[in-house]
Each structure stands twice: as structure tokens, then as C-alpha cells.
Structure 1
Amino acid sequence: MAEQDIKVIIPAFNEADSIASVIAEIPKSVSEIIVVNNNSTDKTAENAAIAGATVLTENRMGYGYACLKGMDYISKQSKAPDIIVFVDGDYSDYPEELNQIVAPIIDEGFDLVIGARVKRLREEGSMTPQQIFGNWLATFLMKVLFGATFTDLGPFRAIRYDKLLALGMEDKTYGWTVEMQLKALKKKMQYTEVPVRYKKRIGVSKVSGTVKGSIFAGIKILGWIFKYSIK
């Protein structure tokens, strides 16, 4: 693991209660943890800095905006990393599983690895019914339309840095994860999934925890899928 330069990007909006725990459990194989404070009104930025992360500020609200901010910061560094890992700041993932997620890239030559939140490893109630259905529908459509083998749109994921740049990521909000997977399919990148554990998040989800968030996320995800199906 030490031979690979791995950086982590964590988009975070009002995750003051969880962000330090996420940072603390990320393996030492990571060279830098980048928390993008996405217009938080609590102590997310302060707690992340105390925990040892590099803290950036992105005031434009949106998951994709935060991820792009982290990528922009990395692009200005003198040395490019080998692998980028994305993980949420709500402590629903198990950050210590990061080495398992990057292993297929390092050991087997994959370009993209998705942490799949399989049912047998999920804490009961950790995913809402709309999340479960949305993931099933999106991955089913990707299978039918593109022959994909994805089973999840899980946010805990790793990708080779050069491949990430090649994707030309552009979504600013809810469609970030599905855009990455669709573009990886279009570019015929080598991908796989690694089963990961998943637990109830700390606090309330800003997306699946609200009707508005769930609707907008669903529209964005389906929009990306159908956009690529007609190209």
C-alpha cells in the first residue's frame, strides 16, 4: 500500500458530530485526507482540522461541487497521486475498509472500485427504502442499457487518479456517483465492486432523509442514465 500515493476526498455538510471519527479510522496508507466543507453552519471545518485533515471550503451547495473542489486542489499539487478515494463524512461507512477498496486497483489492475453496500453487511435501517429502491432501479437500468454489473451507487469508492481526470466529471449535485459509473462504462474502464459494511449514519441525511432530496436525487440519477442511453 505504501508504494501508492492515496488521497481521500470527503465532502461534508454539517457533519461536526461525525467527521473526526471518519478521519480517525482512515488507514495510515493514505497520504492526505481532504475534507471539503460544503457551506456547513456547524463546526465541521474546525473539527476536521483538529482531527488532522486538510480543510477546503466550497460554499456552492452540492455533493459534486464539493468533490470537484477537492479535485481542483489536488490538481494544483506538484505531484499527482495514484489513487483517489471518496468517502462520506457521516460515519455510515467503515473507513478502515479503505485498504480493501483500493486493493483491486493495486493488486489486480482495476481502474474503479465501488464499495457495495450488500444487504448481509448492512445494519438494519441504515438505508432508507427509497435508497434501496433507487439503487436497484439505477443499477438494473445500467445492466439493461449498458451490460453493467454494478449492484450499488455506493459513495465509498476508489479510482485511479488519471482515470478520474479522463472522465471529465461535471455533475454538481446528486448525480456525481452515477455519472462516474456511467462514464467509466462508456470509456470501457475496468471496474469491480467490493462488499462493504454499512451502518446508520450520525445525524439526518440531507438527501435520502428528506422527500425533496430523495426526489431530486432520483431525477438526477435517472437523467444521467437516460442521457447516456441515447448517445
Structure 2
Amino acid sequence: MTIPIVDVVLPCLNEAGALPKVLGALPTGYRAIVVDNGSTDDSAHIAASLGATVVEQRIRGFGAAAHAGLLASSASVVAFCDCDGSLDLTELPRVVEPIARGDADLVLGRRRATPGSWSPPVRLANRVLAAYLRARAGVPVHDLGPMRAAGRDGLFSLALTDRRSGYPLEMLLSAHAAGWRLAEVDVSYLPRIGRSKVTGTVRGFLGAVHDMSHVLRAESR
């Protein structure tokens, strides 16, 4: 069995329509770990049929799914990516390369939007949060990119505790506090396939804002 160069954690909730495109773009040597977070469609079966390692996480929450994928990983480098088709997995190597070269400890894909991929309110909220992090916390980022990569051992050393939508933000803030070298690389941002569970609903969007606010309050103490 070929040992993967990179494990790619893909939290998944009802993404049956997107999975063929997402997994079809996986680079050679990269292993997909699809974490089924309570899907009611055929996501888990489709992912398995396409060669992905499927992990079941019954506890709902992006962070719960992402961390379950991290626990299931074995490669020295672990990447995270949305499973909705909005990100092109063929671009993962450019995110992983600074890690492999030893030039960075955490790399985020800075999204470059294509038409119809990013609603103005959500894009503005992302920009405001990134500006706040640069100004108030000194975190050198312009986007809380969901495509990201880091060393597996380092990720465990961060001891992340958020199991909801604040997980990616906690990862970034904890890495910065630990003195990690952070970097951004440009990646394409495409219209997602299907409806978003976060920005596609008022409840989901407000929930994400609440979770991230909780992480910011905790880090400022």
C-alpha cells in the first residue's frame, strides 16, 4: 500500500453532488479522509466508492468533523479543505509546498473569487475579521482560508478544543501564539455545489459568527 504524502481532511455533510468533482481532483500521493458528519444522503457510500477513507463522526459540528479527520490521519502533513466543490484540490500542492520545504508551519489558501462564488456580505465579513486579526492580534493573514496545511505533529501540539465553526480560527490563533511561521498562497474560489450549511442559512451564518466570537474572547483573556 502506498504511503500518502499528505492526508486531506474533508468534513462532509450531505455533499453527494460535489464529491465526484472534489475527489476526482485529488493529486497523486494525497489521501482523502472524508469525515461524514451525519449525512442523510449517499455521501459516505459515494466517498468510499471513489477511494476515500471514510470516517464517521456523529457529533455535529465542523470542528468535530475536522478533528476526527486529524485523529484518523497518519501522513506527516495534513491538509484541510471544504468538501463542497468551491476549492480545486489540484491546487493543494501549492499550499503544501512551503510546509514540505520547511519555509512555513501553517499555510492558508488565500481565496481568489470567481463570479458567483462569494456573496458580498460573507466576503465583507471575512475581510473585516482578517483585518481585525492583523491589527489587534498581529496575525499576518488576509483570508481565513478553508484550504490549509500543516505538520500533523504540530497540529496535535496546538490542543485545539473548539468543535464547531470556530475550529479554523482557533487553529490560526493558537498557531500564531505558538510562534508558528504563517504563510498564504493564492487559490481559486469557485461557486459551491449545492447549498451551504453555514452561509446559505441565517441560522448557520449566525452560528458561525457566535462560534468565532467565542474563540476570539477566549484568546483575548
TM-score range, shorter chain: over 0.9
Asked whether the equivalents of residues 4 and 83 of structure 1 are also in contact (C-alpha less than 8 Å), the reply is no
109, 122, 127: which one aligns with 1:136: 127
Q: Does 1:7 align with 2:1?
A: no
Q: CA RMSD in A?
A: 1.6
Structure 1 partner of 2:103: 109
Structure 2 partner of 1:82: 76
CA displacement at 1:3 relative to structure 2:
9.8
Percent identity, please.
34
Structure 2 partner of 1:71: 70
Q: Matched residues in 2 for 1:195 and 1:3: separation?
A: 28
Q: Matched residues in 1 for 2:179 and 2:202: separation?
A: 35
Partner letter of residue 41 of structure 1? T
SS of the equivalent of 2:26 reads coil
TM-score by length of 1: 0.91
CA displacement at 1:4 relative to structure 2:
7.7
Asked whether the equivalents of residues 70 and 78 of structure 2 are also in contact (C-alpha less than 8 Å), the reply is no
Change (3 A) 1:50 1:4: closer
Partner letter of residue 75 of structure 2? P
Change (3 A) 1:103 1:4: farther
Q: Matched residues in 2 for 1:73 and 1:4: separation?
A: 13
Residues 1-231 of structure 1: pairs in structure 2 closer than 5 A? 5-30=5-30, 32-74=31-73, 80-118=74-112, 122-230=113-221
Which structure 2 segments of 5+ residues have no match? Answer: none
Q: Matched residues in 2 for 1:9 and 1:126: separation?
A: 22
CA displacement at 1:19 relative to structure 2:
0.9
Alpha-carbon displacement from aligned partner over 1:81-138 (angstroms, at most 9, x marks no partner): 21001011101001000111101111243110000113xxx11221122321221122
Q: Matched residues in 2 for 1:227 and 1:136: separation?
A: 21
Partner letter of residue 97 of structure 2? A
Structure 2 partner of 1:77: none
Alignment size in residue pairs: 220
Q: Matched residues in 2 for 1:192 and 1:177: separation?
A: 15
Partner letter of residue 66 of structure 1? A
Q: Matched residues in 1 for 2:211 and 2:36: separation?
A: 23
Partner letter of residue 24 of structure 2? A
